[in-house]
């Protein structure tokens, strides 16, 4: 007997269904969908059914009909057998019905059949993960990328939003790393801190400096110093003003020195602008500390200011300098006599001053006289930056600077 093409095609499809098994069940056709399972109990008001999610009690008022001894796949077979295989409209209806019932594999197969009949079918294309761009249907990822979107955290977004979310995530991770390292530093022995500092320097994140910065206020000088070293290596520009304060005010000399060195590593104008004004401050300690910090920075742009700060005019109010401390003993006082000579109180010695004058360094300053004070730290800073030594002779320093300024500033 001759079999029609329609039934030969249908029979091939049914072989696939049979291979999947022919498990019998019951179906409740509801107002809102279909529930498949095994009916356990019935009453006038409800039906109790065992489903894949457990036993449910369904009110009869919500049930449109009951299909006994029939599973969801049986219902699909019936619908599949009844459709016109060459009708895109009937196939899309079946595909959407499968989608609503959770038959995703069957739905995808039907959407594919729709595209064979109508390659530009928008509903089928979208359900299969296509998006139209530039008049063409592209796979979703290609279309999103063509629109300039990126995938992050399982969804598509603008690159700016991705960067913001990544930045927020990086901040959390970086903060945790920095805090963990400083926590370990507080408990570590001195010889262990170098390894922890190296771990701190290996935190590769733009936000690392931000989280290190707050540790400049650590109680331990060693931890403050570690934070300063890290900020310098990270070239954290936002730390410049805080580092300048540490260079001027920290009670520990080594911490102040490291702060100056860190400012040099960071570079820029901010560090110079923060320190240079203190070279002429009325407070002797600030003048000395500013000069030392500038020497550690090593920036040749500080040279003119350091030359000016080699000695400054002051008026003494007491034979005992209230600011004189161990770190300042290297800076002798000098005073100008009526003859224009510069005289210091550094001890019994004679030295030349600009203009070839010979001055006696044994003159004792008297209360209330106008004097000059040298800044040995400014001299040391000049020698460190330039490799020259013209003592306190400002004229020679300025002549040297005028000659070499352009070469020194070429790198700035």
**DSSP-assigned letters across all residues of 359-378:** EETTPPP-TT-EEEEE-HHH
Q: Which among 399, 401, 325, 393 has a CA at the least distance from the CA of 355?
A: 393
Task: Give me the pLDDT at residue 24, please.
Answer: 56
Alpha-carbon dihedral sign for residues 312, 317, 320, 322: negative
Pairing of the two strands 130-133 and 54-59: unpaired
**Residues 257-281 pLDDT 10s:** 999 999 999 998 999 999 999 999 9
pLDDT per residue over 189-228, tens digit each?
A: 988 988 999 999 888 788 889 999 999 999 999 999 999 9
What DSSP character marks residue 69? T
Task: Sketch out the chain's domains with CATH numbers.
Answer: 1-82 (2.30.30.100), 84-153 (1.25.40), 311-321+330-374 (no CATH)
15 pLDDT higher than 80:
no
The conformation of residue 3, written as its DSSP 8-state character, comes to P
pLDDT at residue number 251: 95
**Cα–Cα dist 342/347, whole Å:** 14
Report d(CA 265, CA 263) in Å as an integer: 5
CB 131 within 8 A of CB 143: yes
Angle, to 10 degrees, between the axis of helix 394-409 and the axis of helix 376-386? 40
Matching residue, tokens 């990086």: 170
Reported pTM: 0.55
Decide: residue 230, CB within 10 A, 0-12 exposed, 13-18 middle, 19+ buried.
Answer: buried
Tally Cβ neighbours within 10 Å of residue 167. Answer: 12
The residue among 316, 251, 312, 314 whose CA lies nearest residue 277 is: 312
340-358 per-position pLDDT tens digit: 344 344 433 334 444 433 3
Q: How far is CA 66 from the centre of its chain?
A: 61
Q: Which string of b and e fits 51-81 if b means at least 16 CB within 10 Å?
A: eeeeeeebeeeeeeeebeebbbbbbbbeebe
CA geometry: angle 233, 236, 242, nearest 5 deg: 110
Least confident of 34-43, 289-298, 358-367: 358-367
Question: With bands split at pLDDT 50, 70 and 90, how would you rate the model's confidence at 253?
Answer: very high
* Position 318 pLDDT exceeds 70: no
Confidence band, pLDDT 50/70/90 cuts, at residue 316: low
Q: Which two tokens stand for residue 166?
A: 């990544």
Q: CB–CB of 331/375 below 8 Å?
A: yes
* pLDDT recorded at residue 410: 79
DSSP conformational letter for 387: S
Of the listed ranges 131-135, 290-294, 386-390, 395-399, the one predicted with least confidence: 131-135
Per the model's pLDDT, the better-predicted residue between 116 and 344 turns out to be 116
Is residue 84 over pLDDT 80?
yes
């Amino acid at each position: 007997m001759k079999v029609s093409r329609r039934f030969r095609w249908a029979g091939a499809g049914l072989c696939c269904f049979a291979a999947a098994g022919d498990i019998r069940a019951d179906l409740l056709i509801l107002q809102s969908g279909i529930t498949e399972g095994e009916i356990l109990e019935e009453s006038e008001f409800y039906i109790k059914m065992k489903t894949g999610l457990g036993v449910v009690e369904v009110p009869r008022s919500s049930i449109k009909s009951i299909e006994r001894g029939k599973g969801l796949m049986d219902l699909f077979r019936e619908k599949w057998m009844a459709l016109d295989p060459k009708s895109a409209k009937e196939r899309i209806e079946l595909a959407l019905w499968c989608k609503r019932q959770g038959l995703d594999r069957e739905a995808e197969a039907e959407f594919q059949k729709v595209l064979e009949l109508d390659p530009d079918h928008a509903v089928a294309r979208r359900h299969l993960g296509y998006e139209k761009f530039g008049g063409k249907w592209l796979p979703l990822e290609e279309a999103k990328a063509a629109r300039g979107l990126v995938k992050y955290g399982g969804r598509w977004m603008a690159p700016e939003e991705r960067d913001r979310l990544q930045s927020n995530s990086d901040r959390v991770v970086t903060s945790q790393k920095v805090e963990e390292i400083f926590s370990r530093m507080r408990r570590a022995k001195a010889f262990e801190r170098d390894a922890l500092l190296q771990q701190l320097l290996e935190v590769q994140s733009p936000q690392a400096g931000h989280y290190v910065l707050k540790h400049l206020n650590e109680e331990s000088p060693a931890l403050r110093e570690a934070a300063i070293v890290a900020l310098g290596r990270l070239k954290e520009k936002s730390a410049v003003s805080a580092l300048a304060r540490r260079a001027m005010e920290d009670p520990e000399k080594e911490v102040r020195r490291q702060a100056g060195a860190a400012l040099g590593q960071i570079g820029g104008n901010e560090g110079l602008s923060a320190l240079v004004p203190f070279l002429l401050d009325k407070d002797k300690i600030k003048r000395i500390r500013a000069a030392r910090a500038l020497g550690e920075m090593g920036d040749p742009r500080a040279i003119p200011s350091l030359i000016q700060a080699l000695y400054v005019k002051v008026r003494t109010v007491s034979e005992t300098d209230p600011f004189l401390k161990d770190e300042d003993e290297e800076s002798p006082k000098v005073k100008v006599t009526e003859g224009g000579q510069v005289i210091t109180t550094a001890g019994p010695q004679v030295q030349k001053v600009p203009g070839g004058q010979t001055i006696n360094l044994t003159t004792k300053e008297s209360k209330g006289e106008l004097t000059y004070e040298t800044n040995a730290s400014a001299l040391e800073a000049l020698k460190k930056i330039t490799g020259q030594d013209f003592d306190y002779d400002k004229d020679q320093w300025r002549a040297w600077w005028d000659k070499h300024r352009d070469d020194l500033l070429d790198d700035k």
